[in-house]
Structure 1
C-alpha cells in the first residue's frame, strides 16, 4: 500500500485524481476564509477519504469518480443543496453509497478479508451489503448530530429509510458493474500488458 500511495502519477486520469485531492485541500482553505469554520470542518472530514483510493491502488477512473463524488457530497452540505434541490439528496445517496461501497470492497480485498481470487460475482452480494451498512452508519451519524449538536438537521423516519433504500440500490448497481469493469489499477496494467503482448 505504501508503494501505491507514493507512486508518481503516470496517466492523465491519475493526474486528474491527484488534482481532485489538491482541490479538496484548497476547498478547506476556501471554506475557512469565505464560509464558516464548521463548513471548513465538514470539508476537512473528506480529506482522509480522498487519499484511500490512491493507497489501495484503485483504478484511476474509479479514483476520479470517487474523488468527485466525495467532494460534491461535502460541498453539497456547505452550499445547502440537500435542502434547496428536492432530488439532490436522493441522487447523492445513490451515487455516493455505490462508489464508497466499491472502494470499501477494494479495501477488504487489499486486507484479504475478501479473497482477491474470489468469484467476481460475489460483488453483487458483498457491495450492496457494505453499502447498506455504510448507509445505516451515516444515518446514525445524522441522528447523533441532530440529537446532540444541531437540532435543525433534517432527520425523519421516511428520510432515513428512503436514504438507506436508495443507497442500497446504488450499491447493487455498483456490485453488478464490478463484474464487468476492473476496479484495481494492477488489473488494468495486467490487461494492457496482455494486449501489448498479443499485438507483438
Structure 2
C-alpha cells in the first residue's frame, strides 16, 4: 500500500519555516523557562501550547495566521501562569475574543484541508458559500468556548478551587468567544486566497503492502 508523503505530518523544515516557525521555537523555549522558574505544573501548560502551535502546517494555514495563532496561544498561557488575568480585569475578555477567534480559524482550515468535511473559507466566497463558511467558524469557536468553560469548572471543582468560575464570567467568555470566531470567519472569507489540495488518501489493492 502506498501513501502520499504529506498525509501524516509536515517535515521539520515546515514546522520551523517563517514567522510561525519562530513562534514554535519560542514555545519550546517557554517550556524550559517555565520548568526552571515556575515549576512542572506551569511547564505542563506550555507543553500543551507546543502541541497546539504544531498544528497549523497540517492545514496549509497562511503564514500570517500561523504566527498570530501561535502568539495568541503563547500570550494566553503566559498570562495564566503569571497571574495576569487576576491583575488586569479586562485581559480575560480580550483573550477570549481574540484567541478564540484565531483558534477557530485554524480549526476550520484544518478540517477543510484534512477532511474536506466543511467548506474551505478561502474559496467559499467565489463559490457563493461565504455565509455558510462564517457560520462554520463561528460554530467551532462557540463549541471550543463551551468546552473551555466546562474545563474551567471541572478544574475548579476537582483540581484547584482558586480557578475563578462565576455565572457572569462564564456567559461573558462564551459570548466573546462566539463574537471573535464570527469575526475571524468573516475575515477568512473576505481575505480568501489559494486553498491547498486535500491530502491524498491511502491507495492500494487487495493483498498489497
Give the distance between the partners of 1:40 and 1:145, measured in 2 at CA: 17
- Contact 1:16–1:64 (Cα < 8 Å) also in 2: yes
Q: TM-score, normalised by structure 2?
A: 0.82
* Greater helix proportion: 1
Superposition RMSD in Å:
2.1
Q: State yes or no: 1:102 paired with 2:115.
A: no
Select the structure with the greater relative contact order (CA < 8 A; seq sep ≥ 6).
2
Q: Which runs of 4+ in 1 moved over 2 A?
A: 1-4, 115-118, 182-187
Q: Paired residue for 1:197?
A: none
Aligned to 1:85: 88
Kept in 2, the 8 Å contact 1:4–1:56? The answer is no
Q: Which residue in 2 is equivalent to 1:159?
A: 169
Give ranges in structure 2 of 5+ residues lacking alignment. 1-5, 198-209
TM-score, normalised to structure 1, is: 0.85
| Aligned length in residues | 184
Give the gaps of 5 or more residues in structure 1.
Answer: 188-200
Inter-partner Cα distance in structure 1 for 2:26 and 2:95? 19
CA contact (8 A) 2:45 2:77 kept: yes
Aligned to 2:10: 5
What SS class does the counterpart of residue 188 from structure 2 fall into?
Answer: helix
Cα distance, 1:4–1:149 mapped onto 2, change above 3 Å: closer
